[in-house]
Structure 1
Amino acid sequence: MARARSAGRGSLLGRLLVLSAVVSLLSIGATAWLAVRTTTRAIQREQGQALTDDAKIYDTLLGYAATHRDWSAVAPVVAQLAGSTGHRVVLTGQAREPIADSASGPLPQQPLTTVDPTDAGNRIDPRAVGPFRLTTAERAGLRQIAARVQSCLREPSTPAPARDGQQRVLPHNVEIVDEPSGRPRLETPGSDLSADTVTCMEGRTALAAPTATEATALQQLDRLVNSCLARQHLPAVTIGLENTWTWADAESARSGRRRNQPVADCLTAGRREQLAGWVAPAALLFVTAPGEQSARRASTLDLSRPNQIRIGAVTGLVLLAAIGVTALVGVRLVRPLRALTAAAGRMRDGDATARVRVTGRDEIARLATAFNDMADRRRHVEQLRHAMVGDIAHEMRTPVTNIRGWLEAAADGVVPLDRELMASLLEEAMLLQHVIDDLQDLSAADAGELRLHPQLVEVAELLPAITDAFTAAADRAGVTLHTTAASALVTVDPIRIRQAVGNLITNAIRHTPSGGRIDIISGTSAGRLRIDVTDTGPGIPPEQQALVFERFWRADKSRSRQTGGSGLGLSIVRKLAEAHAGTVTVTSPPGQGATFRIDLPVAGPPGSQRAGRGSMGR
């Protein structure tokens, strides 16, 4: 036995040590992976930041070129970009002649990009408006028209009905946005204003009409585009705002679908030619980071031979420390577990006093406390079992002995087998049957097999019927029964309620002296049925009131079964009340009798089915 326990301890410690080593190795590996991953992400973030800075520098200079005719005033812009990004920013002409430089030093072999507003990624930068830029007066006029249209769209007055084929859209949110040329534009988030050809059309038409400046620029652009088309022997077009165009005659519109791409190419070429004198010439952009190579070298992970040895030594020390701590913790864990195992073995061998010492407040301490509680409970249950077996044997021995004795006497001819003897034997058999029935009811209740048959019952009819059945017994004992039953319909099993209340009345008759009184009172409150059985007997001492519902318990241990009952009646009452989702309690002022109260839900136990109404449980 001791060898098995020692082997079990070593096995547990071994598993703990192996687990600690595995966890330590995984932790070291995860830490290394996390460090590499973090470094990689830091580098990626630096690269992403560099790309963001490059894009910011390019977009700022591209916007400058789109709104200025030359680079003469770009030096402050370059200096500001260099200060905000920490990079060296250089602009040169196509022949690398310097335009602006935020620092000094040689330039890279290749420029970052070319800054050309007329060719920004195969498109013209939208900020390059050239001759389409509105005058101050034109902007103010269009702004007033846009404000009126915005007010009209937000709160339309007496809307006119839509004609056939037309739609009305009433936007709830209208915003005015200025285009690079200074022309205001209406935006309606969440709705398509172009589909509405009715609402506020007068103001919208006025807002869409070209100004004098735009008309002049469109005429110039028409000449440039049509000159390009004429060289390709294509018909003329009319250019509109926002780079739109239409064929100049209807015949060309019907046959010109396949010529859309040449027109688009000529429109782009014409715009570039028109913008030639309005934007800054193309320039080369150089962006460098001072000390970039040295910083990259400083951030590189050094995996030389000496560094590898240092990493291995640190890993080994961490692993040894983890194993040492695990061994210490494992020993402290195994010691109380061994004590628990030994105590469990003693309990298995019949030692009811086996207990373990509880130290600390951790999980093992709580386990030891639970073990001690279990041992105490087991000892208590075992004592109850012994007492119950003795009580059952005593309760059944008396009637069986009486029956056997009288039958043997009758068989030997000592006493005649007359009606009086037969009545006495029948009474003993009925008492024995009563004990067996009570034990059977308690056994069914303990197993959860106590069946109920709930019915809708009138309490004012049920209680008097129960009391009437005990009138003769009360008269023989010289006790008076009084019943006060309030009218109430409840869902209960009438047979089981008769049994419970009957047990309480029987108990009250047994403990009430001659000339005494027993009151059976019922009432309802807050959805509960209350049945009180009050006697004028000697009462129950306070220290014994918690025991009256225990099986085979008697207040006077010296009383016989004939005078004290089987000791199961009140236990059955408690089980029947619990089966109805109720309770039974007792109150007994010293020397003033006892009151037993059954408290049940009016609606019946959970899941009960209401059968037909019954008055007496039949």
Structure 2
Amino acid sequence: AERIEPVDLHLSDGRAYQSQTVFRRDEAGESAGWIVRLADITTLTAAMRQREQALQLLTHDMRSPQTSILALLATTPDLPEDVSDRLAACARRTLALADGFVQLARAEVTPVAMEPVDLCDVAVEAVDELWPQCRQRHIEIEQEGCDAPLMVLGDRSVLARALVNLLGNAVKYSPEGSRIRVSARATREDGRAFVDVSISDQGPGLSPEEAAMAFRAFQRFDRPGSEAAGGVGLGLAFVDAAAARHGGGVLCASAPGAGATFTLRLPEYRPA
């Protein structure tokens, strides 16, 4: 059977249908006719439209007032400093929440544009992006295993955001003057080839119960003395969704007081 790409039909009265066609052949390879399936996708189309409107609300209508608040605070020096700082923190948190929710929603449902990607190269870019924060807090980053390309099929921008989230999470929970290790390697599991990028920190670590919940949306683990108190709990949920969309997963190995290692594991790509 030969399938033809589905065609969406949108009528002027708001109804929507999807046409799917399959060309059939008999045992001798001769034409045996067509199978045409017409599905009513009006409700699905309306739900997708509402989702896009909600994302638009978050990306623009919620961001604009918070950005204006920050701009006003920057140009209003006569406010008490503690009041100004609290207002700015609330505005930044709202911005982070809106951005994180939009990124997560799109990672879960938006089709990913698959192309060959060197995951080592993406990891190096993530390190470069977080380097200023690490330098400010005297955190050293060690990189291992990126001497040769390690290829996967994926959306480079989504994978870059996933690794930035993992590394940013490590930076938040790392004490000043500590070390973070970023390592990449090819591995095999159940006869399948994978590429692993692991990020290990020397932070407070997680209990087994916390590790099991780490990838839930809005899950946060506040630790005294860490920089994670201002987080919104969507970064690791995005990583989990992005890994799943790429046919992979994300692993967590940790123990209280022993730091944490998060590993992004994706199927290795080997050109034919």
Q: Give the TM-score normalised by structure 1.
A: 0.29
2:195–2:265 Cα contact (<8 Å) kept: yes
Q: Which has the higher contact order (CA 8 A, sep 6+)?
A: 2
Match for 1:525: what amino acid? T
1:541–1:590 Cα contact (<8 Å) kept: yes
Distance change (3 Å), C-alpha of 1:490 and 1:444: closer
Residue equivalent to 1:173: none
Distance change (3 Å), C-alpha of 1:599 and 1:555: same
Distance 1:408 1:589 in 2: 42
**Correspondence for 1:453 among 75, 89, 113:** 113
2:217–2:234 Cα contact (<8 Å) kept: yes
* Percent identity (aligned): 27
Distance change (3 Å), C-alpha of 1:463 and 1:485: farther
Q: C-alpha displacement at 1:406, in angstroms?
A: 8.1
Distance change (3 Å), C-alpha of 1:491 and 1:565: same
Uncovered stretches (5+) of structure 2, i.e. residues with no partner: 1-57
Q: C-alpha displacement at 1:570, in angstroms?
A: 0.5
Matches within 5 A, 1:479-498: 479-486=139-146, 487=148, 488-498=150-160
Q: Which has the higher strand share?
A: 2
Q: C-alpha displacement at 1:483, in angstroms?
A: 1.3
Distance change (3 Å), C-alpha of 1:407 and 1:521: same
2:175 matches 1:513 = yes
**Correspondence for 1:499 among 161, 166, 169:** 161
Q: C-alpha displacement at 1:437, in angstroms?
A: 2.0
Q: Which has the higher helix share?
A: 1
Match for 2:128: what amino acid? D
2:129 matches 1:469 = yes
- 4+ residue stretches of structure 1 with deviation over 4 A? 402-406, 408-411, 427-431, 557-562
Residue equivalent to 2:253: 587
Uncovered stretches (5+) of structure 1, i.e. residues with no partner: 1-391, 605-609, 611-618
Distance 1:559 1:550 in 2: 23
Q: C-alpha displacement at 1:581, in angstroms?
A: 0.9
Matches within 5 A, 1:205-216: none
Matches within 5 A, 1:161-560: 400=66, 404=69, 407=72, 414-415=78-79, 432-446=94-108, 448=109, 450-486=110-146, 487=148, 488-526=150-188, 527-556=193-222
2:172–2:228 Cα contact (<8 Å) kept: no
Match for 1:482: what amino acid? E
1:522–1:529 Cα contact (<8 Å) kept: yes
Distance change (3 Å), C-alpha of 1:410 and 1:595: closer
**Which protein is bigger by CA-based radius of gyration?**
1
Distance 1:441 1:518 in 2: 25
Q: Alignment length, in residue pairs?
A: 198
RMSD of Structure 2 on Structure 1 (CA): 3.6
1:463–1:483 Cα contact (<8 Å) kept: no
Matches within 5 A, 1:110-121: none
Distance change (3 Å), C-alpha of 1:588 and 1:564: farther
Match for 2:171: what amino acid? I
